[in-house]
Amino acid sequence: MKFYLNKNVFDAALDRIRWLFDEFPNIIVGVSGGKDSTVLYHLCLQVAREKDRLPLSVLFIDQEAEWQGTVDIIREWMYNPDVTPKWYQMPIRLFNATSTVEHWLHCWDPEQKDLWVHEQDPVSVKENVYGTDRFGELFGAILKKEYPDTPSAYISGVRAEEAPKRYMAVTQYLTYKDVTWGSIQNKSKHHYTFYPIYDWSYTDVWKAIHDNKWKYNRIYDLQYQCGLPIAEMRISNIHHETAVKSLFHLQEMEPDTYNKVTRRLVGIDMAGKMGTDDYFINDCPDMFKDWVEYRDYLLDNLIDEQWKQRFRDKFKRMDEIWADVMGKTLYKTQINSILTNDWEFCKLINFEKRPANACIKLNKQGKGILK
């Protein structure tokens, strides 16, 4: 249930950030170079100036295969004299959704320096001493390593509007005191993540950028020129299973980046040339009797042996819940998960988290409102 306050989201976000500055001696602002990060960066800088808490720590984990437009705006932010740059360009491992042969991008691999998509910056951190090479674990690991005895708030630009999974993640549980718009990184060390713009819509984001004349990532202008709907414009790394659609426009928007990425990773060129209509299946091919046969064929022939049983088990559990009511939609989601080599099941988990699908699951388990 949503409760609306007698204030706009801009003022509400500023009040939340002010409260975080009052509660925590250490503030780190995480950015990605996208529109949400742009808003968060400027709001946090405003509060840091008000509270005499400059310079502001700004964190960006560089995944190497980034848009050049992203690198450019991150560099501008990191060289702001009011900022302490925490730009991490160090070896990490990222999933490659475009290939069943080369499963990983080993970012900043020193043995492949001549193939790097862009150069390391002089101010960046280049050595990984944090005990993990997985992107999702790095934020907590960095806090634990660099601030072992300091209560810390990591501020993120995640918005609930972007996905059902995100909505559940940022509003479901108490995080700190009476706050639900956050998550716990390490309770014993008092390390938390907070999402002060969680209730913003994409129109709120663009209105704030326009009204304040904030500079933003130029990739959005190129996406607009390519005809992308404003609600679907996103900036993220290029090859992950949730961002692979970026490839279909990368050739046109940043051809130099596209050439570098195709040299860097297997599968990029093929995915980029196929486009949305061919890469994501809309109709079951005629040579298969139904979607299940097609799904199982792809699973047997495309997924690495070490992950096949993991996929089979997941599909079986999903089929038991949704196959009889959502057959085609369910199978297409599973097929797209195979085609993007999504062994971490990001797409499948998002499917399960959608409110209507979650209700079906509860009803099947006898816990729902339908009898």
Under 8 Å between Cβ of 160 and 2: no
Looking at residue 246, what is its pLDDT? 66
The span from the CA of 88 to the CA of 198, in Å, is: 25
pTM equals 0.82
User: Rounded to whole angstroms, what are the CA distances from 204 to 193, 212, 224, 230?
Assistant: 22, 12, 18, 12
Spell out, as residue ranges, where the chain has pLDDT lower than 70: 1-4, 99-100, 162-172, 239-246, 267, 269-280, 367-371
SS3 content of the chain, % helix, strand, coil (to 5): 50, 10, 35
Q: In sequence order, what DSSP letters do the residues of 351-362 get, joined into one string?
A: HHHSHHHHHHHH
Looking at residue 70, what is its pLDDT? 96
Tokens of 312: 């089979």
Under 8 Å between Cβ of 85 and 69: no
| Domains of the chain as residue ranges with CATH | 9-202 (3.40.50.620), 291-364 (no CATH)
Question: Which residue, 150, 160, 126, 132, is CA-closest to 24?
Answer: 150
Tokens of 235: 């900036």
Tokens of 6: 């007698």
| Cβ-proximal residues to 151 (8 Å cutoff; 6+ apart), any chain | 24, 25, 26, 189, 190, 191
**DSSP helix/strand/coil, 42:** helix
CA angle 201, 170, 184 (to 5 degrees): 145
Looking at residue 243, what is its pLDDT? 58
CA angle 47, 86, 222 (to 5 degrees): 80
Tokens of 16: 């939340």
pLDDT per position as a tens digit, 106-128: 999 999 999 999 999 999 999 99
The span from the CA of 257 to the CA of 245, in Å, is: 15
Alpha helices, DSSP H only, in the chain? 9-23, 35-50, 68-78, 135-146, 164-171, 202-212, 219-225, 247-253, 255-264, 268-279, 291-302, 305-339, 346-353, 355-364
Q: How many CB atoms lie within 10 A of CB 77?
A: 23
The span from the CA of 84 to the CA of 82, in Å, is: 7
Question: Which residue, 133, 65, 60, is CA-closest to 97?
Answer: 65
Q: In sequence order, what DSSP letters do the residues of 60-75 get, joined into one string?
A: EE--SS--HHHHHHHH
CA angle 335, 338, 341 (to 5 degrees): 155
Q: How many CB atoms lie within 10 A of CB 284?
A: 18
Looking at residue 371, what is its pLDDT? 44
Q: What is the dihedral of CA 227, 233, 237, 238, to 10 degrees?
A: -20
User: Rounded to whole angstroms, what are the CA distances from 291 to 284, 306, 320, 322?
Assistant: 6, 24, 16, 14
pLDDT per position as a tens digit, 239-297: 665 556 667 778 888 989 988 988 888 767 555 555 555 556 778 989 999 999 999 99
